[in-house]
Amino acid sequence: MSDNQTKKHHIVIIGGGPGGYEAALAGIQLGADVTLIERSGIGGNAVLTDVVPSKTLIATAEAAQRVAHAEALGVYFSIDGKKVKPKTEIDLGVVNERLLNLAHNQSEDMRDQLIQAGVRVIAGSGRLDGNHHVIVDAIEDGKSERLEAKTIIVSVGAHPRQLDSAKPDGERILTWTQLYNLTELPEHMIVVGSGVTGAEFASAYSALGSKVTLVSSRDTVLPGNDSDAAQLLEQVFRNNGINVMNKTRAEKVVNTGTGVEVTLADGEVLKGSHCLMAVGSIPNTEGLGLEEAGVVLTESGHVQVNKVARTSRANVYAVGDCSTFLPLASVSAMQGRTAVFHTMGDVASPTEVRNVASNVFTAPEIASVGWMEQDIKAGKVNGFVEKIDLNNNPRAKMQGLDFGFIKLICSTGGTVIGGVIVAPRASDLIYSIAIAIENRLTVDELAKTFTVYPSLSETISNAARALHQPNV
């Protein structure tokens, strides 16, 4: 490189979660010199302790449920020519070993991809030294290194929130990162917290065969989600034997040695074998030198960012659960790419929260995107809603589904602006509605797109046709 040429753009990324990983690959693609610092493993919590292992556990639970419900479809085991009702036995030690190995292998695959692409990967911890330098404490040799960076991207994730009155011990009082150390299926799992994490694990452990009690301080499970979806899920939970305790607050959790005692606000004491504390998360931003570098944090410790993941310092970006954006792996990945595109002068499309599809991996799954029905009722947006139960769908009948629905929302002009799906594999079905919203398709354009018969997706088309506004 000649002296008059501009130095290569150097990007330093702290944290190798989905956002950091995608940012690194995007930086290499655009010709930058990229260094990524990660202390635990590439993929971060999403791959090692959160999304990948939890969804693998949920997939195992789904498999157990399919076996348990096979009789309704006329499927039996046969022993010596005699029909035997299918029954499952769960070896949780084997299950957890498999999912941890899967998570580890996924992390290693991601690391190899980064190295092959040309990213310098450092196993260690990083912190800002001003807004143009990062100090790295390497794990291997314990040496410190000061890196100069034109752009710094912070992707450090979050960790489970802990209560002083219910300190996790990794044995009977657990966070979601500690569940995978269990070798035996909990006899009675008490789940404190009815958000996404609490609902998912309550659903999973119930399907695996544990007795489950779900303690919720709110009026219903999944507060903030579509109310019809939340009510249906709660009904399914109760039908499956889950004890849902709404408007109830846990004050204290004690490990008795042989189990747990959960003391509620009204003085009632619940007894179980284990307790999962799912009461939120805290960003891993402490001690990173962010405030010293002039980066604005919220009271909760999250990094304040705009739609391109930029912080209050022009060359510092933050992505993922440590930022003020949606705490979703898919959003973090998009943020990472967007941050690099923006800092490198490429086309950067600001992330629109309303266009983000999300999913709750319960049984059934709940997927949503765009505006919700409660937004219309609250007057935030004008539109129409069409809800069709899946019990009218031929494919649903074939599969023995007796629950679920598809809800489609359009503006008064007929443009698709939202949708909710409650069904098995709702996470896959929601994609078509997300595409419609992203591309501002009308319900008529969605309706005239051919679907497969029979399929669950044809109900989306049916809902779109029902929302057609005749010309008058």
How is the chain split into domains, by residue range? 10-47+96-160+282-354, 173-279, 364-466
Q: Tell which residue, 400, 366, 357, has the closest CA to residue 69.
A: 400
Mean local confidence (pLDDT), 36-55:
91
CA 41 to chain centre: 19
Q: Tell which residue, 45, 19, 30, 42, has the closest CA to residue 120.
A: 42
The fold adopted by the segment(s) 364-466 is Enolase-like; domain 1 (3.30.390)
Please state the pTM of the whole predicted model: 0.92
Q: How many CB atoms lie within 10 A of CB 76?
A: 13
- Determine the Cα–Cα distance for residues 27 and 355; give it in Å rounded to an integer: 25
What pLDDT is stored for residue 65 in this prediction?
Answer: 86
Q: Which one is the CATH code of 173-279: 3.40.50.300, 3.20.20.70, 3.50.50.60, 3.40.1280.10? A: 3.50.50.60
Report the relative pairing of strands 316-318 and 151-154 from DSSP bridges: parallel
DSSP calls for 214-277: EE-SSSSSSTTS-HHHHHHHHHHHHHTT-EEE-S--EEEEEE-SSSEEEEETTS-EEEESEEEE
DSSP-assigned letter for residue 162: -
* Span 260-307, pLDDT tens digits: 999 999 999 999 999 999 999 999 999 999 999 999 999 999 999 999
The percentage of the chain sitting over the pLDDT mark of 90, rounded to a whole number, equals: 84
Q: Report the greatest alpha carbon distance in the chain.
A: 85
Q: Tell which residue, 201, 127, 119, has the closest CA to residue 160.
A: 201
Q: Do 293 and 316 meet the contact criterion of CB atoms below 8 Å apart?
A: yes
Q: Do 244 and 216 meet the contact criterion of CB atoms below 8 Å apart?
A: yes
Q: Do 18 and 44 meet the contact criterion of CB atoms below 8 Å apart?
A: yes
Question: Over 90: is that where the pLDDT of 356 sits?
Answer: yes
What pLDDT is stored for residue 4 in this prediction?
Answer: 37
What pLDDT is stored for residue 290 in this prediction?
Answer: 97
Higher per-residue confidence, 401 vs 160: 160
Q: What's the mean per-residue pLDDT of the chain? A: 93
Q: Tell which residue, 281, 320, 4, has the closest CA to residue 154.
A: 320
Q: SS3 for 83-138, per residue?
A: EECCCCCCCHHHHHHHHHHHHHHHHHHHHHHHHHHCCEEEEEEEEECCCCEEEEEE
> What's the token pair of residue 141?
């040799």
* DSSP SS3 for 470: coil
- Determine the Cα–Cα distance for residues 136 and 124; give it in Å rounded to an integer: 7
Q: Do 444 and 413 meet the contact criterion of CB atoms below 8 Å apart?
A: no
What pLDDT is stored for residue 7 in this prediction?
Answer: 66
- Determine the Cα–Cα distance for residues 29 and 156; give it in Å rounded to an integer: 22
Q: Give the range among 75-84, 302-311, 336-345, 351-360 with minimum mean pLDDT.
A: 75-84
The sign of the CA dihedral 307, 311, 317, 320 is negative
Domain 10-47+96-160+282-354: what homologous superfamily? FAD/NAD(P)-binding domain (3.50.50.60)
Long-range contacts at 226-231 (CB < 8 A, ≥ 24 apart): 226/366, 226/368, 226/372, 226/373, 226/374, 226/407, 226/420, 227/373, 227/374, 228/373, 228/387, 228/405, 228/407, 228/420, 228/422, 229/366, 229/368, 229/420, 229/422, 230/366
Element (H, E) at 158: strand 158-160
Please tell me the total number of residues recorded for the chain in this structure: 472
Mean local confidence (pLDDT), 349-376:
93
The percentage of the chain sitting over the pLDDT mark of 70, rounded to a whole number, equals: 98
Same fold, 10-47+96-160+282-354 and 173-279: yes
- Determine the Cα–Cα distance for residues 429 and 394; give it in Å rounded to an integer: 16
What pLDDT is stored for residue 3 in this prediction?
Answer: 41
Question: Over 70: is that where the pLDDT of 330 sits?
Answer: yes
**What residue type is 50 in one-letter code?**
D
* Span 104-152, pLDDT tens digits: 999 999 999 999 999 999 999 999 999 999 999 988 887 899 999 999 9
Q: Give the range among 102-116, 266-280, 345-359, 425-439 with minimum mean pLDDT.
A: 345-359
* Span 383-419, pLDDT tens digits: 999 999 999 899 999 988 889 999 999 999 999 999 9
Q: How many CB atoms lie within 10 A of CB 9?
A: 18
> What's the token pair of residue 134?
């990062």
77 band by pLDDT with thresholds 50, 70 and 90:
confident
